[in-house]
Amino acid sequence: MKIAVPKEVRAGEQRVALVPESVKKLVKAGAQVAVESGAGSGAFFSDAAYSEAGATIAVDAPNVYAEADFVLKVQPPGRLPDGRSEVELLRPGSLLLCTLNPTRNLDVVQKLAAAKVTAFSTDAIPRTTRAQTMDTLSSMANIAGYKAVLIAAVELPKYLPMFMTAAGTIFAAKVFVIGAGVAGLQAIATAKRLGAIVTATDVRRAVAEQIQSLGAKFVGVEGGEDAEAAGGYARELTPEYQRQHAQVIARTCAASDVVITTALIGGVKAPKLITAEMVAGMQPGSVIVDVAAEAGGNCELTKPGETVIQNGVKIVGPLNLPSSMPRDASVLYSRNLTAFVLEFWKDGKFDLVLTDEIIAGALITHAGEVVHGPTKDAIASEDRQ
């Protein structure tokens, strides 16, 4: 089976789907691996390193796609510099594995179905014990949480840690983390390592102990409902709980120097948790880093990809934070993809077991159809509008 790794075409994307160490594993398993020239350059992996690992180097995108049975990517298929869609280069019946975010990329999904491509999305892989090694969401969220604190430290006009000097004491900054999934927990740990006083909240009761174990203070609605859904994600809240939780957030934001938001519903939808009124109640010089900016943002004033200042409060909406640390991000992502491929590798090829829970969960398009339930619902909803 021929596995292909094209160079990412999305602007600013520095990661690569496979790194040389993973190529070695796949070649050892009997795969033929082709890597487009320069695919790893943004993450500092040379063509020579791929050749040494056993890959062949394709001169351009058409060459790498030409005979590919299974294409591994980071981003959804996009447009090449010559204007062609990458979907056009995928062979009918071939396989695609990437972070497709299908409900956000309905047009791409429909094109993949029409092209008869069997597409898997890493963000739809079930969050089960067996699938932990394939979990790109957690790998990338870990990086995003870490980098968000570093961004906050740069943007904040204060120190994060306490300093005792001959000129007097500078007290530690107060950091408030909203959402204690993988990104939020890493943000808490990083802020603590930098010496900040950290408070955090989440609508799932189970994470309160995890927050406290990292040395942070948990704040939440007393005696409230548990909003944990399947797979450990948060679900939408009742209006009364939302009102009470908003009060907690407003009060804590007003007392904080830095607010880092990481909340997603079902892993994909960013609820609006910080209102313009809450921002107005914060101290001038405070910083909000909205890690959920790519999904629309947790702050209603967030502009994805931009930094705005409102009432002296700086609101940062970074996009694709993992790509800002491309070397390690690529290594982790590559290991996740390799684990997925090898889990179903049999007799020198990928065994498409449609009844397997991991394949069934991650499968988005197959045999000319969109087969992923939430994506089908999103397409139907769009068609009705």
DSSP structure string for 67-84: T-SEEE-SSPP-B-TTS-
Q: How many CB atoms lie within 10 A of CB 133?
A: 14
Active-site residue, from 37, 51, 110, 138: 138
Active-site residue, from 233, 235, 244, 310: 233
Q: Is there a catalytic annotation at residue 233? A: yes
For residues 22 and 29, the answer to whether their CB atoms sit within 8 Å is no
Backbone angles phi, psi at 349, to 5 degrees: -155, 170
For residues 54 and 77, the answer to whether their CB atoms sit within 8 Å is no
Q: Is there a catalytic annotation at residue 242? A: no
Can you point out the beta strands (E) in the chain?
2-5, 32-36, 56-58, 70-72, 95-98, 118-121, 163-165, 168-170, 174-178, 197-201, 217-218, 258-261, 287-290, 307-310, 313-316, 345-346, 349-350, 363-366, 369-370
For residues 286 and 256, the answer to whether their CB atoms sit within 8 Å is yes
Active-site residue, from 14, 121, 135, 186: 135
Active-site residue, from 10, 91, 104, 127: 127
In a 13 Å sphere around the CA of 147, the CA atoms on its Cβ side amount to 21
Closest CA to 203 of 230, 179, 238: 179
Q: Is there a catalytic annotation at residue 159? A: no
What's the angle, vertex CA 336, arms to CA 27 and CA 334, rounded to 5? 55
Active-site residue, from 46, 84, 130, 132: 132
* Residues annotated as catalytic (active site), given as ranges: 127, 132, 135, 138, 233
